[in-house]
Structure 1
Amino acid sequence: MASGTIDARTLTGASTPLQNVTAAGTYGVRTYSAPVTIDGLHNPSNYKAAPVLPTWQFATSDPTGGKLTFEREVAPANGWHTWSRKGKVTVTGGSAATASRVYTVFNGQQLVSALADAGLDPKIVRIVGHIDLRWSSNNTVFKEYTSYLDQKYGGSIMIPSNTTLVGINDAQGRTARITGTSILIGGELANGAADAETGYKAWIAAGKDSEDYPTWTRNIIIRNLQIDAPWDVNPEDSANAYADGMTLSRAQNIYIDHISMGDGDTPDSLAGDTRHDGLLDIVRGTDYTTVTNSYFFKHHKTTLIGNGDSGRAWSDEGRLHVTLSNNFYDRLESRLPLNRFGQVHMFNNYIYGLTDSSVSADLKFGSGVDPRYQSNMLLENMFFEITELAESSFCKKGIDGGNGTKPLGFRSSGHLMLSNKKVNNVPNTTPVAWDGQCGYAVPTGANVWTPPYSYTLLTAANAKTSVQANAGAGKLK
């Protein structure tokens, strides 16, 4: 750990270790309940099991023999995860885990048990093979989720503070994979009040430090995992699914590196309605988070930063500091990201989209970076390659997506833009320099900020090459 920095573990405080027991269910434990309408949503008639199941890649042995390598690494100091209101931090995750707090798991029940066993202690959880909470009894019994509540609780894993969660390649060299399962980091809890907002506002009104509010989940490292967005068996309605691939809520000092996320074997084209929600959502007061070296592909709603406008100011204003760097956004529809309130730094990402009408709806590009209410963004040296899109349309597709809500500030520079729109029936193959400012106003006064961490900035052309070679699970070096 760098001299003069705070170990993020020491900021954990009196948070709820797993935040996993509720009146309706326990995270990671199946209820097998029948579908019911809840608050006018999740009509039982809309229940539909996943129409396609993957070829599971279960494992029963660890090809490394339990030898630790990258699992004990702390997060590098190159993103917003390295900061806090108490000063510069080092995200240590579970790097300090004792031998009894190092777990190698091969199925969902073992994963849930390891997290519950360790609680808030530093822990390293190593996944080998394929995790799916629809399987039980050592991956010998499969049962689809039976309802919204069964999936919400029984199909979700809650990651507690001070955790390093990593994938270990199996004996065939295949990346560890999570399917049919939502990963939750943190929860917006009421802390003894009637609701989360009331509890948090009462804490602040009493003159207490927001950083000491007792329900933060902190200090987590997630690396080298393939995560398939869950198929929602009983969504809210025909246009709104519930289950995300990964959701960060009231989480701080989170480092996510070399993951791959997409729809897996159940693309939206298999349904006449919406069966997937977000891939990776960063919401509800979450702060100081970095997502890097990752591969996002073939999905509709990719990343939401801040999930509401003025009604969420109490939790989100001044928070949602997020770094997105060196990521590959491949054939996605939207939200790269959609940002409300967030102070977001994006650099050296590669965005590749298809807009031609011949591709399926699951692959067609709709919009990219979408700055919205009270957002404040800095974009540097990114490569935008969007097929069959005229250069004149890039500012309504690559950035903005057509939304008129103005952010607090927006700075964008150093990009390359490539549209292969045919001219005289010849596709364009030459990228051009593009600032991507798209008419947005740069921040002024107190809204001007500079990243408080060091980072390596590649040219946009070199970023594309580097990202294609290095982003995603299985490419961790």
Structure 2
Amino acid sequence: MKLLTLMGAAIALLAAQAHGADIDAKSLTGASTPFQSAAYGIRNFSAPVLDANGKHSPANYKPAPALPQWQFALADPTGGVLSFERQTAPQDGWHTWSRKGTVVVTGGSAATANRVYTVYNGQQLVAAINEAGNEPKIIRVIGHIDMRWSANNTVFREYTSFQDQKMGGSVMLPSNTTLVGINDAGGRPARITGTTILIGNELPLAAGGIPETDFKNWIAAGKDGEDFPTWTRNIIIRNLQIDTPWDVNPEDSSNAYADGIAISRAQNIWIDHVTLSDGDTPDSLASDTRHDGALDIVRGSDYVTVANSRFFKHGKLTLVGNGDSGRAWSDQGRLHATFSGNWWDSLGSRLPLVRFGQVHLFNNLVSGDTATKNPDLKFGSGLDARYKSQVLVQNQYYSFVLLKPSEFCGKVIKGSGYSGFRSSGHLFISTRNDSGAWVGPAIPMDGQCGLTLASGADAWTPPYSYNLLPAANTQASVTANAGAGKLN
């Protein structure tokens, strides 16, 4: 295994060297890259209305039935001294790649002194974003942010409608941003509740245009899709606890709208040491669907890495690609994503669900209980390789309650319609085996589930170097390192 890891790293290094010199992702943000953040973070307090498509019925409006214990802050426990905030992303995932060359994701690391912000509430966060625009910026979050609070966290008003939540309850991060949480004096991570973090948006070239038509015309004219002017690029998010929003007025009883983090038409994104869950408003508090994805990567987004993060107590976790053939115009050849060092615990599904993407998962810990009576903690299903996806999974550790080895396939790993799938080096342990109580150590699960390459052409190698731990080391490494609060 060690030899194979070294060989893989060597191949990736040679590929990177052949690809070209490192490019600061900041330089890929052109003058025409749109700044769209000003439309978000402003409450309109509108009444709920049924939209033209018959969605978001006012009868389905319901405020969040529970609120968290707030941990607002007024002072910076670091005294303003920066520690990890200027760090750039490591070169160990798809975020470090581009069709133009090997990329260094710098986020806001080059921020000048007047573009380093420390914020304690939602209005300060929005003001910092709008002031800096696409310039490199570092935004340090301290305490607890929720866009439902105003007047320096002294006035609380629940979202009044879908539109109020969609615009006023979302924060759009522009290009060249580092958004980090700073632990408080007690070591608790900064927290964001009731607020969607948006990275990018699928836009036309000009107001009134059609994104799909404009992009197709751009490509038909022989232009590089990487130069299409509406990308959001070069984002770092670290050390934040994020509670996925309760949707006060979902589309219908089965489909909510608000995500925790939504990456849409964006590239060169590094998300590290983040914790996402439903927080104090789990699905069990409603008879219908009130949460959408925790972290979705959709609409042509590319070169994204999610690392060292913890996800728990949530239903539909992560989409990589949100449609089949109808999204080929934006997604074919894109949606390159890496997931490494993450802990997926007590989740409903989509760990992740992949369409089109070339996705690499390694050294993640997946745990859960398939028989618990608590619906918020019951494991539903795991990785789902779908339409034209190419998935490489390496050295995962699977730890379960009551799930038998014979039930592993179809429950933890499944797929259909994919172009290619490779899986190796995993370990599986549970509280029972196929004949009774589990006896002995974790067992290997290589070659399971019937997911194999459709053709040799899909036998791709990640073009970046990475440190692949044995699966036996994955559990201890991930539990010690994953999630918010582990930095500074």
Give the 5 Å matches for 1:128-143. Answer: 128-143=142-157
The Cα RMSD (Å) is 1.5
Aligned pair partner of 1:117 in 131, 136, 143: 131
Q: Is it true that 1:183 corresponds to 2:197 in the alignment? A: yes
**Cα deviations by residue, 1:24-60 (Å, 9 ceiling, x for unpaired):** xx21000100000112100000000000000110001
Cross-structure match for 2:236: 221
Structure 2 residue 54 is the aligned partner of structure 1 residue 37:
no
Q: Distance between the aligned counterparts of 1:314 and 1:20, measured in 2?
A: 26
How far did residue 283 of structure 1 move?
0.3
Report the Cα distance in structure 2 between the residues aligned to 1:140 and 1:240, rounded to whole angstroms. Answer: 32
Q: How much has 1:4 moved relative to structure 2? A: 2.9
* CA deviation after TM superposition for structure 1 residue 299, in Å: 0.4
Alignment counterpart, residue 478 of structure 2, candidates 446, 450, 467: 467
CA–CA distance in structure 2, aligned partners of residues 387 and 317 of structure 1? 38
Alignment partner for residue 62 of structure 1, among 52, 63, 76? 76
Partners in 2 of 1:458 and 1:387 — Cα distance? 24
Q: Tell me if the contact between 1:32 and 1:147 (Cα under 8 Å) persists in the aligned partners.
A: yes
Is the contact made by 2:37 and 2:174 (CA closer than 8 Å) also made in structure 1? no
Query: What's the counterpart of residue 435 of structure 1?
Result: 446
Give the deviation of 1:15 after TM superposition.
4.5
Query: Does residue 338 of the first structure (1) align with residue 356 of the second (2)?
Result: no
Partner of 2:40: 27
Q: Which amino acid aligns with 1:37?
A: L
Structural mapping, 1:402-417, within 5 Å: 405-417=416-428
Relative to structure 1, the CA distance from residue 267 to residue 428 in structure 2 (aligned partners, 3 Å threshold; closer, same or farther) is farther
- Give, in angstroms, the shift of residue 445 of structure 1: 4.0
State the partner residue of 1:4.
21
Q: C-alpha displacement at 1:17, in angstroms?
A: 4.3
Structure 2 partner of 1:18: 35
1:76 maps onto 2:90 in alignment: yes
Cα distance, 1:135 vs structure 2: 0.1
Q: CA deviation at 1:63?
A: 0.9
Partner letter of residue 416 of structure 1?
A: L
User: Secondary structure at 2:305's aligned position in 1?
Assistant: strand
The aligned runs of 1:273-292 (5 Å cut-off) are: 273-292=288-307
**CA contact 1:79–1:323 (8 Å) conserved in 2:** yes
* Partners of 1:17 and 1:119 within 8 A in 2: no
Q: Is the Cα–Cα contact under 8 Å of residues 43 and 234 in structure 1 kept in the other structure?
A: yes
SS of the aligned residue for 1:45 comes to helix
Q: State the TM-score, normalized to the length of structure 2.
A: 0.94
Report the Cα distance in structure 2 between the residues aligned to 1:200 and 1:66, rounded to whole angstroms: 44
Query: Matches of 2:337 and 2:470 in 1, distance apart?
Result: 21
- Decide whether the 8 Å contact of 2:37 with 2:173 is kept in 1: no
Q: Once the 2 structures are TM-superposed, how far is the Cα of residue 429 of structure 1 from its aligned partner?
A: 5.5
Alignment of 1:156-171 (within 5 A): 156-171=170-185
Which amino acid in the other structure matches residue 36 of structure 2? Q
Q: Residue 433 and residue 445 in structure 1: after superposition, are their counterparts in 2 closer, same or farther (change >3 A)?
A: closer
> TM-score of the superposition, structure 1-length normalised?
0.96
Cα pair 2:423 2:446 within 8 Å, conserved: yes
1:299 aligns to what SS in structure 2?
Answer: strand
How far 1:249 moved relative to its partner? Answer: 0.3
Distance in 2 between residues matched to 1:436 and 1:127, nearest whole Å: 44
Structure 2: 5+ residue stretches without partners: 1-16
Letter in 1 for 2:462: P
CA distance in 2, matches of 1:58, 1:385: 36
Q: What SS is found at the alignment partner of 2:284? A: helix
Quote how far apart the aligned CAs of 1:385 are. 1.5
Equivalent residue letter for 2:80: G
Q: Closer, same or farther in 2 for the Cα pair 1:127/1:15, shift >3 Å?
A: farther
- Give the stretch that moved more between structures: 224-233 or 411-420: 411-420
Give the secondary structure class of the aligned counterpart of 1:95. Answer: coil
Indicate the structure whose relative CO is greater, using CA pairs within 8 Å and at least 6 residues apart. Answer: 2
Q: Distance in 1 between matches of 2:434 and 2:445?
A: 20
SS in 2 for 1:463: helix
Distance in structure 1 (CA, Å) of the matches to 2:49 and 2:476: 49
Q: How does 1:364-379 map to 2 (within 5 A)?
A: 364-379=378-393
Q: Which residue of 2 aligns with 1:325?
A: 340
Q: Distance in 2 between matches of 1:17 and 1:314?
A: 21
The one-letter code sitting in structure 2 at the alignment partner of 1:407 is Y
Q: For 1:234, what is the secondary structure of its paired residue?
A: coil
Is the CA contact (8 Å cut-off) linking 2:34 and 2:229 kept in structure 1? no
The 3-state SS of whatever aligns with 1:469 is helix
Q: How far does residue 431 in structure 1 lie from its aligned partner after superposition?
A: 1.0
Cα distance 1:5–1:266, how it changes in 2: closer, same or farther (>3 A)?
A: same
1:447 matched to 2:458: yes
Q: Is the 8 A contact 1:262 1:296 kept in 2?
A: yes
Residue aligning to 1:144: 158
Residue 108 of structure 1 aligns with which residue?
122
SS of corresponding position for 2:315: coil
For 1:244, give the aligned amino acid: D
Structure 2 CA distance for aligned equivalents of residues 139 and 232 of structure 1: 21
1:333 match: secondary structure: strand
Structure 2 Cα separation of the partners of residues 45 and 258 of structure 1: 39
Q: Is 1:200 aligned to 2:215, yes or no?
A: yes
- Displacement of 1:422 in angstroms is 5.9
Q: How far off its partner does 1:146 sit?
A: 0.1
Distance 2:321 2:368 in 1: 24
Question: What CA distance in whole angstroms lies between the structure 2 residues aligned with 1:425 and 1:447?
Answer: 39
CA contact (8 A) 2:405 2:434 kept: no
The answer as to 2:64 corresponding to 1:47 is no
Moved more, 424-433 or 379-388: 424-433
Task: Sort the Cα spacing of 1:410 and 1:434 in 2 relative to 1 into closer, same or farther, 3 A.
Answer: same
Deviation at 1:418, TM superposition (A): 1.2
Deviations 1:112-143 (Å, cap 9, x if unpaired)? 00001000100000000000000000000000
1:418 is aligned to: 429
Preserved contact between residue 410 and residue 437 of structure 1 (Cα < 8 Å)? no
Report the CA distance shift for 1:35/1:428 in structure 2 as closer, same or farther (over 3 A).
farther
Paired residue secondary structure (1:332): strand
Tell me the CA shift for residue 421 of structure 1: 2.0
- How far residue 171 of structure 1 moved from its aligned partner, in angstroms, is 2.4
- Aligned-pair distance for 1:388? 1.0
Displacement of 1:470 after TM fit?
A: 0.5
Q: How does 1:383-402 map to 2 (within 5 A)?
A: 383-400=397-414
On the 8 A contact 1:157/1:182 being kept in 2, the answer is: yes
Distance in structure 2 (CA, Å) of the matches to 1:179 and 1:383 = 30
